[in-house]
Amino acid sequence: MADHTFHVHRYDPEADDEPEFESYDVPVSDSTSVLDGLFHIQESLGKNLSFRFSCRQGVCGSCCMEINGQARLACQTPVTDLDAKQIRVRPMYNLPIIKDLVVDMEPFFEQYRRVRPYLAPDDLPVPASRLIGKIIGLLAARVPPLDLLEGTARAGGSTQQPPSRTALRSPGRR
């Protein structure tokens, strides 16, 4: 296993005046994802690092972060695909930062509630979770707010689909 250096955005609003990047050496194999690297920092190096994840399969979108300057899903980004020994990880640029790599999703959910990007029959509950991943993908792709509104509206109402989250994936992922 070769060591890579992760430069990770650290910020605790209760303790820090400014965010800063801290560097950690992380052992990496061909199958190590960026999310695995963050787990290593948290568990093996004993760092109190905050980040979001859920499915670890590229479905939920909760591990979206900026990795070496691009919005990516950390669980679907093999470190070796980045072709760099220095890995810079920071939270998504377009949402307020709560702590470390965790962003406040409320602006996203506010847009989601406003747009209602789904068909809503009067007598059926709406499976809202089905479209959340697509909207996160649009946010991650840096779609301007007006395009986002149009894109999410299209997602529920026409045959023209917004950009798929698969566009964010690198080739050769697990």
Which residues here bind ligand FES, judged by CB under 6 A? 53-56, 58-63, 73, 75
75 or 131, CB closer to ligand FES? 75
CB of 55 to ligand FES, least distance (A): 4
Helix or strand holding residue 109 (H, E): helix 106-115
88 or 169, CB closer to ligand FES? 169
63 or 135, CB closer to ligand FES? 63
58 or 162, CB closer to ligand FES? 58
| Residue 37 identity | G
Length of the chain: 174
9 or 165, CB closer to ligand FES? 165
Alpha-carbon torsion (125, 115, 166, 7), positive or negative:
negative
CB 42 within 8 A of CB 34: no
CB of 62 to ligand FES, least distance (A): 5
59 or 84, CB closer to ligand FES? 59
Find the Cα–Cα–Cα–Cα dihedral 152, 55, 127, 96, rounded to 10°: -50
Distance of CA 12 to the CA centre of its chain: 19
Alpha-carbon torsion (107, 99, 10, 31), positive or negative:
negative
Distance CA 114, CA 131 (A): 14
CB of 39 to ligand FES, least distance (A): 11
Name the 3-class secondary structure at 5: strand
CB of 165 to ligand FES, least distance (A): 8
